[in-house]
Chain A
């Protein structure tokens, strides 16, 4: 069964550094998402992406964040200047159609900012 994959599984970075988290959505899916989960808290929506543009973003998704689909298979989340509070598990998801369709999640990337 097709799966969403994410790399790396764990990323450690220094505060102020840029990080790029990578995701490979399910191949025929058209909608892509990023969520994050700070330890002990809820999974929170960050952004959705469709047709090469952001379709929705949360208040968390500020100018420090950006997303890109650089080729036909990858979907990336970039954090330009990481802060301590960016430490979290970041989940990528994809769906074939819009929110009425099930979102399939990747295993997550644990980001630790020191």
Chain B
């Protein structure tokens, strides 16, 4: 069975600084997708970034980038130039590329950006 682990329940970062959120996962499959979702307070989860396991290149979206280490089963999210609007709960999620529709989520990391 697949699992996703986020070992940092809470983190804080100063505005304009860089922060890295950790995520590890466990699977015996080789084809899958990984996601980071952001959930601002009282708002819905929105996709931050997505990574296909077959791609060696790390995904980037503006100030957000990932460090995908397939052998280590690690998928960390780096937020550069942190902004107050980045304050949110961040969830790491995993899904196989076939045979299932479900996402498996980690427990989340609550990030607070300090002014």
Contacts and interface: CB of A to CB of B under 8 A. Distances in A.
Say if A and B assemble together: yes
B71 to A, nearest CB: 22
B99 to A, nearest CB: 8
If over half of B's interface residues share one DSSP class (helix, strand or loop), that class is named, otherwise mixed; here it is: loop
Contacts of A107: 42-44
B102 A99 contact: yes
A33 B46 CA distance: 15
A35 B45 CA distance: 12
Contacts of A105: 37, 44-46
Interface residues of A, number: 26
Interface in B26-70: 33, 35, 37, 42-47, 50
Contacts of A48: 101-102
Contacts of A33: 101-102
A58 B44 contact: no
Contact of A106 (B37, B44, B105): B44
A44 B50 CA distance: 19
Contact of B45 (A42, A55, A56, A91): A91
Interface in A11-62: 31, 33, 35, 41-45, 48, 50, 55-56, 58
Interface stretch (B15-23, B79-87, B90-98): B90-98
Contacts of B108: 42
B113 interface: no
B105 A99 contact: no
B94 to A, nearest CB: 10
A60 to B, nearest CB: 11
A10 B23 CA distance: 31
A112 to B, nearest CB: 16
Contacts of A68: none
Contacts of B100: 56, 99
Q: Which 9 A-B pairs have the closest CB atoms?
A: A45-B102, A48-B101, A107-B44, A43-B105, A105-B45, A99-B101, A99-B95, A56-B101, A105-B44
Interface of B: 33, 35, 37, 42-47, 50, 91, 95-98, 100-108
